[in-house]
Amino acid sequence: MHIHILGICGTFMGGIALLARASGHRVTGCDANVYPPMSTQLEAQGIALTEGYDAAQAGLNPDLFVVGNAISRGNPLLEEILDRGLPYVSGPQWLAENVLRDKWVLAVAGTHGKTTTSSLLAWILDQAGLAPGFLIGGVPQDFGVSARLTSSPFFVIEADEYDTAFCDKRSKFVHYRARTAILNNLEFDHADIFGDLASIENQFHHFVRIMPRSGLIVANAAEDSLKRVLQRGCWTPVEWFGSAEGWQLGVAASDGSCEVCLGGEQIGRLALALPGDHNRSNALAAVAAARHAGVAPAVALEALARFGGVRRRLEVRGQARGVTVYDDFAHHPTAIAATIAGLRQRRPSGRILAVLEPRSNTMKLGVMKAQLPGSLEEADATFCYAASLGWDAAAALIPLGARARVFEDLGELVAAVTGSARAGDHVLVMSNGGFGGVHEKLLAALAA
C-alpha cells in the first residue's frame, strides 16, 4: 500500500511514517516546516519528502492519506482530498488499527516529561530482553530513531493530549487503549484548543475510563489535578509515585544517585546520567510501569544507569572558544525552569545564558507570559526571540531587569549572545521548533 502523510515532519507523524514503512508500505509525505532531526531521520529511511501542501500531490494517487493534526481546513491538499472523496484517516486512528491492535500498550501521558519518560521505559524493556516497539516524540540516543516496529507484544507510546486531527477533536491518547499508563503530571497547556485546565482533565478522564481492570495506572502523587481525574472514576489499579505509601525517591547524593523505595522499603538505587529532580521522577515512574510488564526493579535500575539520553533534551550541540551550546525542547514555563535547574545541577560552574523562542501555540497566545520571568529566574541572562509573538515580550520580562533582552531579528540575537558569552558559559537554547538553525549560527559566530 502507498501511504502519503500530511505533516510528516512532526515528531508523531514522523514516527507513523517509520512504522508504516517497517510494516511494508510505501511511504511518502509532505510538510511546510522541514528541519532536523525528523527530516534527516526520514531521509535516512528512504522516505521521500515534499515541501509544502500543493493540491497537485493528490496526483501521487496513494492508497491512503494519513492526516496529521497540524493540518487544518483551508490546506490546499486537504481540500483537494475532501473535494475528490479520496481515502484519508488520522494518524492516531491509523496507528490504533494497524500497529497497536493486540499489543500490550504502555502509554506515557502528562504535560511534561513524556518524551524522556517514554524513552526511559522503552530502554528498560529493551535491556530486559522484551524488545518493545515504540513511538516517541523525540529521538532516544540509544535507539537512534523515534519509532520502531517489532514482533514483541509490548509497545511504548508517548501519549499526547493534543487533539487527533481536523476531523476528530478527541485527544490522541484515547485511541491507544493503554494497558499500562503513566500519568506524569497535568498542568494547563495547549491554550489554542483547551479553554482551561478542567477541559484537559476531562480528556484525561476519557483516557482513564477505557483502561482495563487488568491494567495499571502509575500516577504522580504531587499532582492534585491527577487526583481529581481519578476521583471522577477509575476502574484500574493505581500505584502512586512521589508518595511514602507508594514509590518514592530518597535524597539525591552529590553524584545525583538516590535510593528507590516502594511502600517504605528500599529496593535499589537509581543512578541516572540525566540531571535534575524531574528526570529522577521520570525514571521512577518508568521503573514502576516496567514492573507491571514483568521487569524486576533491580533490572530496571541497572538499565537506567546505562541510559544515554534523548536528542533535544539538554543535548550538547557543540563547543566553541570554551562556550558550550545546548539544545532543549522546553517551551512551557514549568519545563523551562526544570531544564535550567537540571543544567545547573549538571554544571554548577559557569554562567547559563538562556536563549528562548516562545514558539508553542500556548506561548504565542501569551497565556503563560506572567509565569515566564519566574521560570527564567535562575538563568544568568536571557535572550528572547520575539519575532512571531502577538504580545510584548519585553514588557513581560521586565521583572528580570537588565538580565533579559528581547530581539525580533535572529542575526541580532546571535550577535548579542556571542558578544556576551565567555569561556566556561553554557548557552541553553530552548524551543519546540527549529529556531532558524540558531544552534549552528551561534557555534559558527563563536568560532569566528
pLDDT tens digit string along 128-149? 999 999 999 888 888 988 899 9
| Domain count for the chain | 3
Residues 78 and 109 in one domain: no
Whole-number Cα distances in Å, 391 to 2, 368, 385, 387, 434:
44, 11, 12, 10, 21
Q: Which of 283, 304, 325 is the last residue of a domain?
A: 304
pLDDT value at 239 more than 80: yes
pTM of the model: 0.83
End-to-end alpha carbon distance in the chain: 50
Provide the angle, in degrees to the nearest 10, between the axes of the packed helices 277-292 and 333-346.
100
The three cell numbers of residue 212 are: 482495563
**Which whole number is the average pLDDT over 66-74?**
95
Distance CA 412, CA 116 (A): 33
Domain with residue 72: its CATH number is 3.40.50.720
Q: Is 352 part of a structural domain of the chain?
A: yes
Q: Which of 252, 274, 304 is the last residue of a domain?
A: 304
Q: Which of 304, 326, 342 is the last residue of a domain?
A: 304
Q: Is 309 part of a structural domain of the chain?
A: no
pLDDT value at 308 more than 90: no
Q: Is 38 part of a structural domain of the chain?
A: yes
Residue 5, pLDDT score: 97
pLDDT value at 319 more than 70: yes
Distance CA 268, CA 1 (A): 48
The three cell numbers of residue 163 are: 487533539
Whole-number Cα distances in Å, 224 to 184, 185, 186, 220, 237:
12, 9, 9, 9, 18
**Which whole number is the average pLDDT over 300-321?**
90
Residues 41 and 72 in one domain: yes
Q: For 355-388, how does the pLDDT look when each residue is reduced to its tens digit (9 = 90+)?
A: 999 888 778 777 888 889 999 999 999 999 998 7
Residues 122 and 243 in one domain: yes
Residue 311, pLDDT score: 79
Size of the chain, expressed as the number of residues it contains: 448
The dihedral region occupied by 360, where left means phi > 0, alpha psi between -120 and 50, and beta the remainder, is beta
HSE value, Cβ hemisphere, 13 Å, CA-based, for 301: 17
Greater pLDDT, 275 or 98:
98
Question: Among the listed ranges 54-63, 321-330, 360-369, which one has the minimum average pLDDT value?
Answer: 360-369
**Which whole number is the average pLDDT over 333-354?**
90
Instruction: Output the 3-class SS for 318-378.
Output: EEECCEEEEEECCCCHHHHHHHHHHHHHHCCCCCEEEEECCCCHHHHCCCCCCCHHHHCCC
Q: Is 380 part of a structural domain of the chain?
A: yes
Residue 36, pLDDT score: 67
Question: Among the listed ranges 62-66, 74-78, 242-246, 358-362, which one has the minimum average pLDDT value?
Answer: 358-362
Residues 162 and 51 in one domain: no
Distance CA 133, CA 153 (A): 8
**Which whole number is the average pLDDT over 264-280?**
89
Q: Is 97 part of a structural domain of the chain?
A: no
Residues 148 and 72 in one domain: no
Q: Is 52 part of a structural domain of the chain?
A: yes
Domain extent at residue 353 = 315-447
Greater pLDDT, 347 or 236:
236
- Closest listed residue to residue 288, CA positions, set 230, 248, 253: 248
Residues 140 and 283 in one domain: yes
Burial 386-399 (b: 16+ CB within 10 A, else e): beebeeebeebbee
Q: For 9-27, how does the pLDDT look when each residue is reduced to its tens digit (9 = 90+)?
A: 888 999 999 999 999 999 9
Q: Is 310 part of a structural domain of the chain?
A: no
Residues 373 and 399 in one domain: yes
Residue 436, pLDDT score: 86
Residue 37, pLDDT score: 65
- Closest listed residue to residue 118, CA positions, set 146, 84, 81, 150: 146
Residues 121 and 193 in one domain: yes
pLDDT band at 434 (very low <50, low <70, confident <90, very high): confident
Residues 219 and 173 in one domain: yes
Amino acid at site 328: D
**Which whole number is the average pLDDT over 377-406?**
92
Q: Is 210 part of a structural domain of the chain?
A: yes
Q: For 203-233, how does the pLDDT look when each residue is reduced to its tens digit (9 = 90+)?
A: 999 999 999 999 999 999 999 999 999 999 9
Q: For 167-203, how does the pLDDT look when each residue is reduced to its tens digit (9 = 90+)?
A: 999 999 999 999 999 999 898 877 777 889 999 999 9
Residues 236 and 168 in one domain: yes
Do 153 and 140 touch, CB atoms closer than 8 A? no
Residues 18 and 160 in one domain: no
Domain with residue 401: its CATH number is 3.90.190.20
Residues 79 and 112 in one domain: no
pLDDT value at 245 more than 70: yes
Place of cell 551561534: 442
